[in-house]
């Protein structure tokens, strides 16, 4: 094993160990985030902070930079300038396998479209991030079934996505985001494709997770009802928080 490989292996073990994920007053900190695509500036120096157990909604007009910021916070994109820290780890400095391990272990994602794999059952879709984290089938399925119970969907475990309603599909996507017990869930318009009843049910589930498990959420949304029940509402305009 090369010295670099040995170092990476040690760092990966560290990222999996419990003391990396201890509680900080500010779980997530972003400072001076800038991002441009070509000559078009999207983010112009954003500072952003989230405490453990908060639901934070990011609102603003289309093109304000909300989704770009969320992608940078979630390590799906890198900033041109600035830093992002999650529980004391400067995540924008991670790359390759270290970044993949950290993201899989710490960050859950929910998008406007569920992105469930059509050939797999609801249970199998939920388990995918756990399998990537090298958990056993028994461990993954036990956690997945716990989440299905919380969501009232146990009886739908073996159904394929095309056999589920839109609201059920999105709840399965949320369960998939939660299966590794992430420290934070990042959601981009999670109720954007849902009718009002299913949107309300999803929002109530977020509140329940916050109240009962101190789950932290950062949510990009145009939904006024979701923004109203959030602990903090951040408004973006022209690449800045106002």
The H or E element containing residue 166 is: helix 166-178
- Please list, residue by residue across 205-227, b when 16 or more beta carbons sit within 10 angstroms of its beta carbon and e when fewer do: bbeebbeeeebbbbbbbebeebb
Q: What is the mean pLDDT of residues 117-142?
A: 96
Q: How confident is the model at residue 208 (pLDDT cuts 50, 70, 90)?
A: very high
Q: Is 94 exposed, middle or buried (0-12, 13-18, 19+ CB in 10 A)?
A: middle
Q: Treating both helix axes as pointing N-terminal to C-terminal, what angle do 3-16 and 96-106 enclose, rounded to 10 degrees?
A: 10
3-state SS assignment for residue 136 = coil
Contact present, 46 and 33 (Cβ < 8 Å):
yes
* Sheet containing strand 40-51, strands side by side: 40-51, 26-37, 81-86, 89-90
Residue 47 has pLDDT above 70, yes or no: yes
User: Which pLDDT score is estimated for 19?
Assistant: 34
Q: How far apart are CA 95 and CA 108, in angstroms?
A: 18
Straight-line distance from the first to the last Cα atom of the chain, in angstroms, rounded to the nearest whole number = 50
Q: How far apart are CA 226 and CA 233, in angstroms?
A: 10
- Say what the alpha-carbon torsion angle 122, 125, 131, 135 is, to the nearest 10 degrees: -30
Query: What pTM was computed for the model?
Result: 0.85
The H or E element containing residue 172 is: helix 166-178
Q: How confident is the model at residue 1 (pLDDT cuts 50, 70, 90)?
A: low
> What residue ranges define each of the domains in the chain, with the CATH number in brackets?
52-76+93-241 (3.40.50.300)
65-115 confidence digits (pLDDT tens): 999 999 999 999 999 999 999 999 999 888 889 999 999 999 999 987 889
């Amino acid at each position: 094993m090369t010295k670099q490989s040995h170092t990476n292996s040690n760092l990966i073990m560290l990222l999996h160990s419990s003391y990396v994920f201890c509680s900080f007053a500010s779980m997530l900190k972003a400072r001076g985030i800038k991002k441009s695509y070509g000559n078009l500036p999207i983010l112009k120096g954003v500072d952003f902070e989230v405490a453990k157990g908060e639901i934070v909604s990011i609102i603003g007009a289309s093109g304000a930079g909300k989704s770009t910021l969320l992608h940078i916070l979630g390590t799906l994109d890198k900033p041109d300038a600035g830093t992002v820290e999650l529980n004391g780890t400067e995540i924008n400095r991670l790359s390759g396998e270290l970044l993949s391990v950290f993201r899989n272990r710490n960050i859950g994602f929910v998008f406007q479209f569920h992105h469930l794999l059509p050939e797999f059952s609801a249970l199998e879709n939920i388990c995918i991030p756990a399998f990537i984290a090298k958990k056993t089938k028994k461990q993954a399925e036990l956690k997945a079934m716990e989440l299905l119970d919380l969501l009232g969907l146990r009886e739908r475990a073996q159904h394929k996505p095309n056999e589920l309603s839109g609201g059920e599909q999105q709840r399965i996507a949320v369960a998939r985001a939660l299966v590794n017990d992430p420290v934070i869930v990042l959601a981009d318009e999670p109720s954007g494709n849902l009718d009002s009843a299913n949107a309300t049910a999803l929002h109530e589930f977020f509140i329940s997770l916050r109240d009962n498990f101190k789950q932290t959420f950062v949510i990009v949304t145009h939904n006024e009802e979701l923004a109203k029940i959030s602990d903090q509402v951040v408004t973006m305009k022209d690449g800045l928080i106002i």
